[in-house]
Amino acid sequence: MQKLPRDFYGQDAITVARKLLGKYLVHNVEGEELAGKIVEVEAYMGPEDKAAHSYNYRRTQRTEIMYGPAGYVYVFRIYGMYNCINVVTAEVDKPQVVLIRALEPVSGLDKMSVKRYGKKYSELKKSQIINLTNGPGKLCMAMEINMSNYGDDLCGDRLYIAEGSTDDKFDIVSSKRINIDYAEEAADYPWRFYIKGNPFVSKPHI
DNA sequence: AAAATGATCAAG
DNA sequence: TTGATCATTTTA
């Protein structure tokens, strides 16, 4: 699999978000390769985006990684229980990120299913297969992504994103982002993108 | 529909 | 130091 180069991430978050669809998120854990196809993302555009953690140039220990170079991993913990993985994009001092919201499981299926449900993939019910990675918290559980991945270099060998298949053709749907009602006018920006018709998209109807 | 559950952040 | 908030998931 061809790893995406640093340049790829140096574009604005909306551009990177759209291009990330169909690519493969890969995590090497304990010598095994966990991978999933990216099917749903959201762009957070930083200082001018009220939904972004970096709105108004908010700069804290948590958001610090966003101010550095592109191609690094921003992981945050939400609701005291779940982790969400983001990709840092754009230039230094432009704190933009792309949230990865859903994956289609590709490899390491047994490891993923054990993490989520405590049993092998072949023993899962159909509903459990869909629920393996169809949400930002769920995919982090399955892929074993946690705060130890904060700051990981996507151009490294532990956690990275690889080029998708050239014959994987799909339509992109854009919609409002999920669960950002607090963000006033930004709540309506169409910065969520997903692969039309893919069964692993978290909320296809919105 | 509502609980679970704790880090994070801004206010004081 | 504290209290409200929260880019979610699960269970009911």
pLDDT digits (tens, 9 = 90+) for A8-25: 999 999 999 999 999 999
Q: Is the pLDDT of residue A169 over 90?
A: yes
What is the value of pTM for the model shown? 0.97
Q: How many Å apart are A73 CA and B2 C1'?
A: 33
Domain ranges of chain A: 6-195
pLDDT score at A206:
66
Second CATH level (architecture) for the domain A6-195: Roll (3.10)
Pick left, alpha or beta for residue A161 (phi over 0 → left; psi -120 to 50 → alpha; otherwise beta).
beta
As beta bridge partners, residue A193 has A41, A174
Range A74-90 average pLDDT: 98
Pick left, alpha or beta for residue A8 (phi over 0 → left; psi -120 to 50 → alpha; otherwise beta).
alpha
Is A117 near strand B, with its CB below 7 A from some atom of it?
A: no
Q: Looking up tokens 């993923």, which residue turns up? A: A112
Q: How many Å apart are A38 CA and C10 C1'?
A: 24
Going by the DSSP 8-state scheme, the letter that residue A170 receives in this structure is -
Q: Which range is least confidently modeled, A11-15, A92-96, A99-103, A164-168?
A: A164-168
| Closest listed residue to residue A192, CA positions, set A42, A38, A15, A18 | A42
The pLDDT confidence band at residue A203, using thresholds 50, 70 and 90, is confident
Q: Is the pLDDT of residue A205 over 80?
A: no
Range A151-160 average pLDDT: 98
Is A79 near strand B, with its CB below 7 A from some atom of it?
A: yes
Q: Is the pLDDT of residue A30 over 70?
A: yes
Q: Which nucleotides of B are covered by protein (CB under 7 A)?
A: 4-10
